[in-house]
Every structure is written in C-alpha cells, then in structure tokens.
C-alpha cells in the first residue's frame, strides 16, 4: 500500500499549444520544476497574492506544457466543459465552499456567544492550577474544531493572560499547549480548509479524514504538549500588560453592547453537543457504508451524515441553543453569520486556484511525468507527500498553499492505484503534517503568536517554531506507521 502503482507513460495528446517549449518526460519535469520555482518567487519575492500567483503559474505551466488556449479557457462561448481552468476551480469549490462556509458560521456563533470562555473556564476548574496548561491544551483541541486558528487565538488569548498572571509563571507555559491544540485541529480535521481541500482533490470521504485526523492528531498534539511543558519552564515571558488591559476593555465593551448580563449562561454540555453533532453524524455515515447493507436505515444515516446536512444541523442547533433561546434577535444572528464569512473569500480563492493548478498538471501530462519520476525514486507515497508539502511550507509560509499544491502534485500517484479510503486519508494527514512544519518569519501565524503573547522573535523561534515542527514530525510518524497496516 505504500507505493503508487505505475501507469503506462503516454505522450502528451496536446498540439497547438501557445508555448510548447519542450516535449517528453524530461521537458515536462522541467516545466513542473520551473513552475513551482516561479510560484515561490511570486509569493516570496514579488509578494503577489497567493490566489493570483497560483492562477498565473497554472496558465504559464499549461501553455508551456502544450495545452492550447482553447483547452485552458474553453471556446469563445466559455464552455466550462471545455475549460481546464473552470473545471479545476469549480470541481474543488463545489466540494469545499459549502463546508467551509457552514463551519465558519458555526464557529462564529460559538465564539460570540461565549462558548469558548465557558469551555476553558470549566476545564481550568476541573484540572486545577497545577494542570492549567493541560486544560488550555484541551480547550485548543475542542474549540479549535469549528474555528480558524487565528480566531481561536483572538478569542482565547485573554484566558491565557489571566492564567499566567494568576500563577506568576511564563505565559509560554500556557500559550504553547493552547496553540498546539488549535494548530492540530486546523491542520488535520475538517471543516478546516486544508484537509477539506485535500479530501476534495483526492476524492476521500470526510468521515475517514475525521477519523484519521483524530487518530493521527491526538498523539501528535500529546507530543507537542510534552515539548510545551519542557520549554515553558525554560523560557520565561511575562504577560504583556497592554494586551491584558486591551482584553479586559474589549470584554467590557462587548458585554455592554450585547447586554451579556441579561443572557442565560452557556452550558458546557451545549457547547460539546454543538461541536460533536456534525462529527458523530459524518462518522456514522462513513461506517454505515461499511457495516450495513443497502437499506432504508443506511440511506437515512447517510443522508444525515452528509457533511452539508450534518453541518447545517449543527448550525441550526447553534442558532437556537446559543442564540434564540438566550434572547438573541434574528438580526443579530444574521449579522454574526454574515460578518464571519468576510475572511473566507481569500481562503476559497486560494483553494480554488490550487484546484486549477492540479487540473492543469493533470491535463497537460505534467502530473503523469511527476508520478512516473516519483515512482522511480523508490520512496513511499506517504513520505513523498510529506516532503513535498514540507518544502513548499517552509519556502513560502502558507499551509493552505502547501496543501493544495501538494495534493495536485500527488493526485496522479493515487489515481487508478486502487488505494483504500483509509490509506488516502493517511496521505492527506501526511500532506497536512508537512504543511505546518517550522512556522517562521514568512508565516502570518508566527507574527500573530509573537505579538499576541508578547514573545520576542528569537523566543518565538525557540518555542512556536519548534512546537510546530514537533507537531508536524509526530503527526507524520503516526500516519506513516498506520499506512503500513491499512
């Protein structure tokens, strides 16, 4: 199961390409290498927006590899059926956009309603002062499922400030476990963009991605927590007083605006119910397709376990339990939902452009040339997936770009090879693990961590950058080990 089955090389079927520079496998590999190099230059040096960079490189690679203008863009009548670019964009966004949109709105309701604070406070009370870092880590894992990584930091940072201030210990001791939990869920679990996009590109059930994300992610985050405990006792960083004051002012302002004092408190069981509902429904549908024969019961389970339906149910539960039942107006719910979708546009465009890049690689024959070459290298598919993703991540900083680009490159290695869904889900885990390795100065997350927790650039490299590397390597190690037996 570790090696991709080879395919019979075929000559590129394209003629009439605008820039047909070179032919044959060597020429296609050169086009691929130059295309990836151009992508990195555009993102790193030119500072071009990743969506524009991916789209531009896709067009250049397609033309250089021999695709005609008609094949790339369709006819004058813009027939999508004839356009590699439109098919690539539409094919991936048809799967990803709904899931990311629903998941984003769900996370926003949980955030604004105070669900995160209830979760963290209850865990801190349950674990006690000595185990407060573990409580912060579990908060990151649970709350990180429905919310984006940066949103999780913005919402939960004040709780980290308070815990560190109360104990008098380094803020690193409390921030790193939280960050590990948020990063793990963002990298390995739907409805986050990376794993959802990879699942769409490689045609893997989200149920298997969730299951393998949990199986791979939990040991990885445990390893990261061990490192957090070790480094938190060796790097002392005081709580940034300005951030602490700003957090208190923001909390008071929000409470005054929304009249929080008049709202019923959020129950922990409600938060867990809303977060757990879509996961349970999707997993139930996945296993019903394995363990049940065709029947009405199986059809019902698969209906409610469809990711679109499961997330819609969870969102409606959140609207009622966290909103309407606690006195929110329908206008408030609409405003929170609408405002939460504003940052999603950039993510969806990058994911869509990644789909375009993968479609161009496939249609031009570049992907098959890469597949044949990688097979000849002799490395297991899961190792190749991890290394490609890791290199792209370290080079240009964006985890999403690393994931969608890598998925497009490895797609021909899995097509037609009769790999099982669990194995393909583990390949996605390897790609996701590579996409979080060694966050450094070219990654926006590096600066968010440094500024929000008042950590110097040097200490951020010693703490956050190493934490991400531990999480990445541990996650890949678990995925690689499991790939030997599935």
| pLDDT 10s digits, 156-213 | 888 898 889 889 999 999 999 999 999 999 999 999 999 999 999 899 999 999 999 9
* Residue 253 pLDDT > 90: no
Percent of the chain with pLDDT over 90: 43
**How much is the pLDDT for 301?**
94
Residues 180, 439 contacting (CB under 8 angstroms) = no
Query: Predicted confidence band at 1 (pLDDT cuts at 50, 70, 90)?
Result: very low
CA torsion angle 429 342 149 40 (round to 10)? 60
Task: Output phi, psi for 425, to 5 deg.
Answer: -65, -35
The tokens 């465009």 sit on which residue? 349
pLDDT of residue 430 exceeding 90: yes
Mean pLDDT within 390-397: 89
User: CA 236, CA 315: separation in Å to the nearest integer?
Assistant: 41
8 A C-beta contact, residue 32 and residue 57: no
pLDDT of residue 17: 47
442 in Cβ contact with 199 (< 8 Å): no
pLDDT score of 325 more than 50: yes
pLDDT of residue 248: 63
Does residue 90 have a cis peptide bond before it, meaning omega lies within 30 degrees of 0?
no
Peptide bond into 331 cis (omega under 30): no
pLDDT interval class at 3 (50, 70, 90): very low
pLDDT (0 to 100) of residue 311 = 94
Q: How far apart are CA 409 and CA 330, in angstroms?
A: 45
Model pTM score: 0.84
* DSSP structure string for 172-217: HHHHHHHHHHHHHHHHHSTTSHHHHHHHHHHT--HHHHHHHHHHHH
The confidence score (pLDDT) of residue 75 equals 67
Lowest pLDDT segment from 68-72, 227-231, 302-306: 68-72
CB atoms within 10 A of CB 465: 19
Tens of pLDDT, residue by residue over 138-154, are 999 999 999 889 888 98
Q: Is the pLDDT of residue 16 over 50?
A: no
Q: Do 82 and 71 meet the contact criterion of CB atoms below 8 Å apart?
A: yes
Mean per-residue pLDDT over the chain, rounded: 86
Calculate mean pLDDT across residues 351-375: 81
Q: pLDDT value at position 96? A: 85
- Continuous segment of H or E residues that includes residue 291: helix 268-291
Cα atoms in the Cβ-side hemisphere of radius 13 Å centred on 369: 20
Pair 142, 272: CB distance under 8 Å: yes
CA distances 290 to 294, 308, 408, Å, are 10, 20, 28
Residues whose CB is less than 8 angstroms from the CB of residue 448 and which lie 6 or more positions away in sequence, other chains included? 150, 153
48-76 burial, b at 16+ Cβ within 10 Å, e below that, comes to bebbebbbebbbbbbbbbbbbeebbbbee
How far is residue 188's CA from residue 198's CA, in Å, rounded to a whole number?
Answer: 11
Tens-place pLDDT, residues 205-219 = 999 999 999 999 999
Q: What are the strands, taking DSSP E only, across 36-129? A: none
Mean pLDDT, range 217-237, rounded to an integer: 96
Q: Reply yes or no on whether the pLDDT at 120 is more than 90.
A: no
67: alpha, beta or left, given left = phi > 0 and alpha = psi -120 to 50? beta
Determine whether 264 is exposed, middle or buried from the number of CB atoms within 10 Å of its CB (0-12, 13-18, 19+).
Answer: exposed
Contact 193, 150 (CB under 8 A): no
Instruction: For residues 360 and 122, give the distance between their C-alpha atoms in angstroms, rounded to a whole number.
Output: 50
pLDDT in tens, 255-283: 554 554 456 678 889 999 999 999 999 99
Q: What tokens appear for 99 in the block?
A: 């899931």
How much of the chain exceeds pLDDT 70, in percent?
89
Distance CA 98, CA 286 (A): 19
| R_g of the chain, CA atoms, integer Å | 23
Structural contact between residues 434 and 208, judged by C-beta atoms closer than 8 angstroms? no
């Amino acid at each position: 199961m570790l090696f991709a089955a080879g395919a019979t090389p075929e000559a590129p079927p394209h003629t009439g390409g605008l820039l047909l520079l070179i032919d044959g496998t060597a020429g296609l590999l050169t086009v691929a290498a130059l295309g990836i190099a151009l992508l990195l230059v555009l993102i790193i040096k030119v500072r071009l927006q990743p969506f524009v960079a991916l789209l531009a490189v896709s067009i250049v690679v397609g033309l250089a590899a021999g695709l005609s203008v008609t094949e790339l863009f369709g006819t004058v009548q813009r027939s999508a059926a004839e356009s590699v670019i439109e098919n690539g964009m539409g094919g991936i966004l048809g799967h990803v956009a709904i899931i990311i949109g629903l998941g984003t709105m769900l996370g926003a309701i949980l955030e604004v309603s105070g669900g995160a604070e209830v979760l963290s406070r209850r865990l801190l009370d349950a674990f006690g002062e000595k185990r407060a870092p573990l409580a912060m880590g579990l908060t990151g894992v649970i709350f990180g499922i429905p919310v984006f990584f940066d949103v999780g930091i913005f919402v939960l940072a004040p709780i980290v400030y308070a815990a560190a201030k109360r104990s008098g210990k380094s803020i690193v001791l409390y921030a790193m476990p939280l960050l590990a939990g948020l990063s793990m869920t963002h990298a390995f679990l739907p409805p986050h963009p990376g794993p959802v996009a990879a699942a769409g590109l490689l045609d893997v059930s989200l149920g298997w991605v969730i299951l393998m994300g949990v199986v791979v992610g939990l040991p990885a985050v445990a390893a990261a927590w061990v490192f957090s405990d070790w480094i938190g006792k060796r790097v002392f960083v005081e709580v940034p007083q300005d951030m602490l004051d700003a957090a208190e002012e923001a909390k008071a302002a929000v409470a005054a605006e929304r009249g929080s004092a008049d709202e019923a408190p959020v129950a922990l069981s409600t938060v867990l119910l809303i977060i757990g509902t879509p996961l349970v429904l999707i997993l139930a549908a996945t296993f019903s397709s394995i363990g049940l024969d065709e029947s009405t019961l199986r059809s019902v389970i698969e209906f409610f376990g469809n990711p679109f339906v499961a997330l819609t149910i969870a969102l409606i539960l959140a609207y009622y339990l966290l909103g309407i039942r606690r006195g929110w107006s329908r206008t408030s719910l609409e405003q929170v939902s609408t405002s939460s979708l504003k940052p999603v546009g950039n993510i969806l465009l990058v994911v869509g452009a990644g789909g375009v890049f993968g479609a161009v690689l496939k249609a031009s024959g570049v992907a098959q040339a890469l597949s044949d070459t990688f097979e000849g290298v002799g490395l297991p598919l899961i190792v190749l997936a991890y290394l490609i993703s890791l290199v792209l991540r370290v080079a240009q900083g964006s985890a999403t770009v690393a994931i969608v680009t890598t998925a497009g490159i490895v797609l021909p290695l899995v097509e037609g090879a009769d790999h099982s869904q669990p194995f393909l889900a583990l390949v996605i885990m390897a790609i996701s693990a590579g996409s979080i390795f060694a966050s450094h100065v070219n990654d926006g997350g590096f600066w968010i961590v440094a500024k929000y927790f008042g950590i110097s650039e040097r200490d951020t490299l010693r703490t956050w950058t190493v934490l991400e590397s531990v999480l990445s390597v541990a996650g890949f190690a678990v995925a690689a080990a499991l790939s030997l037996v599935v």
